[in-house]
Amino acid sequence: MNQAVRHVYVHFPYCLHRCGYCDFATTVARVIPRERYLQQILTELELRTADQPLAPLETVFFGGGTPSLWGPAAIAAVLAWLQQRAGFAQEPEITLEANPGALESGDLAAYAAAGINRVSVGIQALQDTRLRALDRLHDAAAARQTLAQLGELLAQGRLRSANADLIFGVPGQTMLDLRADVAGILDYGLSHLSAYSLTVEAGTPLAAQVKRGLAARPDDDLQAAMLDALPALLAPYGLARYEVSNYARPGHASRHNLAYWTGRYYLAVGVGAHGFLPQPGAIGVRYGNTRKHEAWLRALAAGILGEDLRETIDADQHQDERLLTGLRLNAGLDLQALAADLGDDRRLALLQRAAPALARGDLWLRDGHLGVMPAALARLDSLIAELA
Ligand SMILES: C[S@@+](CC[C@H](N)C(=O)[O-])C[C@H]1O[C@@H](n2cnc3c(N)ncnc32)[C@H](O)[C@@H]1O
Ligand code: SF4
């Protein structure tokens, strides 16, 4: 595999409020230690790049939590460090996740001036009843305000791309509601949409409510019907599906996420962040930082990494990961790239295992790519298990 590391993920774990469905590494702090967190992110970058140099970066992703609460100066400081130590490839993609609302999204123009050229905003819904059901802090008016700001920054060329996250299949939501959400968001000229079906994650307040009968469980059939309907709802806006949950105008697919989904190496820093780096004698190493934010802060203050996971990835595991993500792509899994990275015998063995599903019409094989037929997307997990 090409050993260059050209992608960096920076996790900012703080949120103003914990949404009932969310299982991400987030912390609701009374006072967000913005400066302390920045210093420790820079310390982690120093520690992790001491024995793993970075190539000129193609993508940087500030995810959360709510990194739009960090402030443009902190984002600029991280980017300045990366510029000095690694530099950037031509036209890098630099993404900031933001939440709607003036308080949470901050000054998006200032973030653009700090070097952000792609914003991903967690709209989730454009109806107050559903936003309340999702336990979100923002309302539809705040969502529209942030979308309008994004539309303006795109039109002025101060941002290159903008994404909205949408959650569908919320109990009570109809197909008409979904259509209205999509139209409401894309009328602002966004270039990308991520649409996720509501998942009840174990251990969340939503899971407890469902268990006690206080909240309805999402309906699988309705979610499958909505997943089916989305491509046609988005086509009039020029967005096409390129991954099961992701839609973009031509040239606006997320290069950072595509790097994950095609098995590239990436450095990740921050509370709960997971990275994948080259390792001599293996395909690579996957590491994970602790999700306990105080423990992470303490470790970095002592000049050590706050890791609680480190796993050597061999060729079998890497192939499984490539299958898992590659088959979710509309372009399918690139078999030539797999053969180049892991050997041609693996490509041939995979094709043999794929033969029954190809014969059934569940998979397609074209131009050296193996993909899932749209009608079989709902059975993606069992297809992947069949090929692994
Ligand atoms: C970790 S969040 C970060 C973005 C931002 N803080 C926000 O909430 O808008 C990334 C996205 O994952 C999606 N997500 C998180 N938990 C989910 C769940 N249980 N079911 C469906 N989508 C979920 C939401 O669409 C969310 O915008
Ligand atoms: S704002 Fe985003 S990251 Fe924070 S709790 Fe809500 S869904 Fe999770």
Summarize pLDDT for 63-74 with one digit per residue, the tens. Answer: 999 999 999 999
CATH architecture of residue range(s) 7-261:
Alpha-Beta Barrel (3.20)
pLDDT higher than threshold 90 for residue 77 = yes
Mutate-to-test residue for ligand 2 from 26, 68, 138, 165, highest number of ligand atoms within 8 A of CB: 26
- Mean pLDDT along residues 47-68: 96
Q: Which atom of ligand 2 is nearest to the CA of 15?
A: 4
Question: What is the average pLDDT score of the chain?
Answer: 95
Residue-wise pLDDT for 121-159, tens only, equals 999 999 999 999 999 999 999 999 999 999 999 999 999
Nearest atom (ligand 2) to Cα of 17: 5
Q: Tell me the residue ranges of DSSP E strands in 21-168.
A: 27-28, 57-64, 88-98, 118-124, 161-168
Ligand 2 binding residues, C-beta < 6 A: 15, 18-19, 22, 24, 26, 64-66, 99, 122
The answer to whether residues 115 and 76 touch, using CB atoms and an 8 Å cutoff, is yes
pLDDT band, residue 208 (cuts 50/70/90): very high
Nearest ligand (C-alpha, residue 19): 2
Predicted confidence band of residue 82 (pLDDT cuts 50, 70, 90)? very high
Atom of ligand 2 nearest to the CA of 21: 7
Sheet holding 363-366, edge to edge: 333-334, 369-372, 363-366
Q: Name the closest ligand to CA 193.
A: 1
Which ligand is the nearest neighbour of the Cα of 201?
1
Q: What is the pLDDT of residues 233-254, one digit of tens each?
A: 999 999 999 999 999 999 999 9
**Confidence grade of residue 92 (pLDDT, cut at 50, 70, 90):** very high
| 289 alpha carbon – ligand 1 mean position (Å) | 20
Atom of ligand 1 nearest to the CA of 194: 25
Nearest to 333 by CA among 388, 292, 378, 281: 388
Provide the β-strand partners of residue 167.
Answer: 196
